[in-house]
């Protein structure tokens, strides 16, 4: 009897846990009654996450590192800028790691972290905090939805 393995295009049900290298959990549905149902290859989830499920057989448990370029991507240097402290509201006291809301030239509100403070300037990083980080992904394949809508 051949083993059925998950392929791109399959709809699967899984348990998963995604964490950062420091052990902090980003997201999980492990042991949850329903788990997560997803169709592989639709691109609704992190590429490295979907790729990790492909090739798994029913009941397989996999632990895999997802490199940052297959997770949330690298930091964009265009989202790091240095500004004069004089444009800050007087009520704002800057300190390293503080997250502030700034208004982009297009009017969009953006969250940015203060990553450097000098005498007359501060440097802001508007990249997502998850950018440039490898992830550790644990997955258990629970079911594969077959085309006639029958779960195996």
CATH (domain of 48) = 3.10.50.40
Burial group, residue 28, by CB count within 10 angstroms (0-12, 13-18, 19+): middle
Say whether both 55 and 81 belong to one domain: no
Burial group, residue 53, by CB count within 10 angstroms (0-12, 13-18, 19+): buried
pLDDT tens for 54-90 read 999 999 999 999 999 999 999 999 999 999 999 888 8
Say whether both 115 and 147 belong to one domain: no
Look up residue 64 and give its DSSP letter: E
Say whether both 140 and 91 belong to one domain: no
Contact 76, 29 (CB under 8 A): no
Task: Choose among 45, 73, 49, 43: nearest CA to 63.
Answer: 49
The residue range of the domain holding 37 is 11-72+131-151
> What is the structure's pLDDT at 150?
47
Q: How many angstroms separate the CA atoms of 23 and 37, rounded? A: 25
Q: Does pTM surpass 0.85?
A: no
Say whether both 118 and 138 belong to one domain: no
Q: What is the CA radius of gyration of the chain?
A: 21
Cβ density class 111-131: b for 16+ within 10 Å, e for less: ebbbeeeeeeebbbbbbeeee
Average pLDDT over residues 118-126: 95
Q: Which residues pair with 39 in a beta bridge?
A: 11
Is residue 118 in some structural domain?
A: yes
Say whether both 100 and 144 belong to one domain: no
**Is a pLDDT exceeding 60 seen at residue 149?**
no
CATH of the domain at 117: 2.40.10.330
Is residue 15 in some structural domain?
A: yes
Helix (H) or strand (E) segment spanning residue 14: strand 11-20
Domain count of the chain?
2
Say whether both 109 and 64 belong to one domain: no
User: Which pair of structure tokens corresponds to residue 88?
Assistant: 């800050």
Is residue 2 in some structural domain?
A: no
> What is the structure's pLDDT at 1?
65
């Amino acid at each position: 009897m051949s083993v059925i393995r998950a392929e791109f295009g399959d709809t699967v049900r899984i348990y998963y846990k995604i964490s950062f290298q420091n052990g902090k959990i980003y997201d999980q549905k492990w042991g949850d009654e329903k788990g997560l149902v997803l169709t592989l290859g639709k691109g609704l989830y992190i590429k490295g996450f979907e790729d990790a499920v492909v090739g798994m057989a029913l009941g397989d448990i996999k632990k895999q590192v997802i490199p940052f370029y297959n997770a949330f991507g690298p930091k964009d240097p265009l989202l790091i800028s240095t500004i004069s402290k004089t444009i800050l509201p007087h009520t704002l006291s800057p300190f390293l790691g503080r997250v502030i809301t700034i208004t982009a030239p297009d009017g969009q509100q953006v969250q940015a972290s203060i990553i450097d403070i000098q005498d007359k300037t501060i440097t802001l990083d508007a990249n997502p905090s998850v950018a440039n980080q490898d992830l550790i992904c644990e997955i258990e394949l629970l079911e594969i939805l077959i085309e006639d809508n029958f779960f195996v």
